[in-house]
Amino acid sequence: MRFIKSLFKLRLKMDLAFRVDVFFNFFTQLVYLIGILLLFRVIYLNVSEIGGFTLGDVYVLLGTYFILIEVYNMTFRGGILSLPETVKEGNLEIYLLKPVNTIAFILLKRVNIGRVWRVLPGFILLIYGLKMNDIHTGMNLVYYIISLILSLIIYTISNFCISLLSFWFFEVNNMFYIYDDLMEFAKYPDVIYSGIIRKVFMTIIPVIIFSSFPTRILIGLSNFQEIFIYQTILLLVFLGISLTLWQRGLVKYQGRG
């Protein structure tokens, strides 16, 4: 824990050295968010709801999506993206020999506190959507936070699995870009997907659950117990896959030699 605190303090000092960059990042995110809002407002001019999701519910969904993505980008993304290059250059020993948990160090070594402002539009949109529908969250807010944390962990582990493929493949960065593109599906209610696409995006590449599941709990569309069970099973599966890849990858790893 002391190591994590020290790492966060160091990153905070580095990020605050570029305050102008922080401001423009926030401004860019705000403009993008306004564009998304206008898009869905146009869509809902002709319909009152989509699969039980009203316009306010969709705003809650979008807010959840932006919170999830930006928290991940701020915390784990940098470290995960750095692993393939570290493996390629044969520098993994630098982390393996440190007196800390190697996986934790890799995940947190590039925490970007300067992105914290980019989370704010997501919170604003979330609150606005709740106000639109006059939703009183109560205990659902607690369950929502738990579900959102589970989504963040699953999303982080699934990205970590991609980075671990660098033990076997020379270039895996394109896989991250593809996964980022697929995450666009998480902006829309999960009910619009059906057939094989829904099955794939609920299990193998579970992008549609990341924001839809927490949102369903918050707006009262789904039972939180069922969602928790599904997310927990999915988390354990991806955790098992990641640990297996990590252990086998270390065996295959050659280092500089």
Q: What is the dihedral of CA 198, 201, 207, 212, to 10 degrees?
A: 30
Cα separation of the two ends of the chain: 33
Residue with tokens 């252990």: 247
Longest dimension (CA), the chain: 64
Residue 70 tokens, joined: 């930006």
Q: How far apart are CA 8 and CA 76, in angstroms?
A: 12
Which tens digit of pLDDT belongs to each residue from 25-71? 667 767 777 888 888 888 888 888 888 899 999 999 999 999 999 99
Helix axes 55-75, 77-89, angle to 10 degrees: 40
Residue 174 tokens, joined: 């394109």
Which tens digit of pLDDT belongs to each residue from 179-214? 999 999 999 999 999 999 999 999 999 999 999 999
SS3 for 53?
strand
Residue 105 tokens, joined: 């160090």
Q: Is the pTM of this model over 0.85?
A: yes
Q: How far apart are CA 44 and CA 110, in angstroms?
A: 40
Residue 137 tokens, joined: 């969250």
